Amino acid sequence: MWSVVSKAINYFDTIPPLLLLILVLTTMRRQGRDYIVYYLCGQFFFNGYANWLNELEKDNLFAYSLNFSWAYYILSLYFARLYASRKWAWFILGLVALYQLNLIYTLQASSTVADFTSVSFGGISLLITIACLFYYGKQLAGQPKENILTVRDFWYVNGIFTYYASNFFIFLTYNALVSRNYANIGVIWKIHNVVFLVMCVYFFIGMRCKTLPET
């Protein structure tokens, strides 16, 4: 029984994004640029590819690196729109450019465990977490115009915050755990996938809420 559950958890980072994309295509009207939909497309594609490589018993770490790069780029655009501030937008996109340049340099080497840049992954997770906290602070500081529980972006940010804040230490310590042949590394990654599922649940709730006009 556990083997079946364990196998299913491996696909928690692939099947939920697919289901959400199907929901978007079948029930939601197009409302301009929806960066969370773009984010889910990347998650489904890259995580699906990584799982396929894993089934073939091939190294898939470079797929996760590409996924993280895409995710950071898209989420940066999302938060730049959310803040509606040109200065914040340029600052966020400047950090993205630095990360992409670092990634290109790193991926010049072969795809090995050493190429899972724990410091970069952990650092980006921290930056995204801080971006979420700024959003919360902005909501608390302003006079609420409506029930925040009915606002789509609130649930989107909840999902993003839950995933990146919870997995910060997993990303940051992954290399160290692998290099020490930590026996439960597979269990830790399953925890990562469960948290990913929770993020998708938040996204689902958000998709059932209204969206604010794009600025």
CA atoms within 13 A on the CB side of 101: 6
Q: What is the pLDDT of residues 96-112, one digit of tens each?
A: 777 767 666 665 554 44
**Number of Cα atoms under 13 Å in the Cβ half of residue 188:** 17
Q: Three-class SS of residue 145?
A: coil
Strand (E) or helix (H) holding 55: helix 35-55
d(CA 198, CA 142): 28
Residue 24 is predicted with a pLDDT of: 92
Instruction: Specify which residues 210 forms β-bridges with.
Output: 151
Q: What is the mean pLDDT of the chain?
A: 83
Q: Is 208 within 8 Å of 167 (Cβ atoms)?
A: no
HSE of 63 in the Cβ direction (CA atoms, 13 Å)? 16
* Amino acid residing at 95: L
Q: Which span out of 8-17, 95-104, 107-116, 205-214 was modeled with the highest average pLDDT?
A: 8-17
pLDDT of residue 111: 47
What whole-number distance in Å separates Cα of residue 161 and Cα of residue 164? 5
Please tell me the predicted confidence (pLDDT) of residue 124: 87
Q: pLDDT tens digits, residue range 28-54?
A: 665 667 899 999 999 999 999 999 998
Indicate the SS3 state at residue 210: strand
Q: What angle do CA 196, 177, 172 make, to 5 degrees?
A: 55
- Give the CB-side neighbour count of residue 82, counting CA atoms within 13 A: 26
Are the CB atoms for 14 and 53 separated by under 8 Å? no
Q: Residue 151 in 3-state DSSP?
A: strand
pLDDT(143) > 80? no
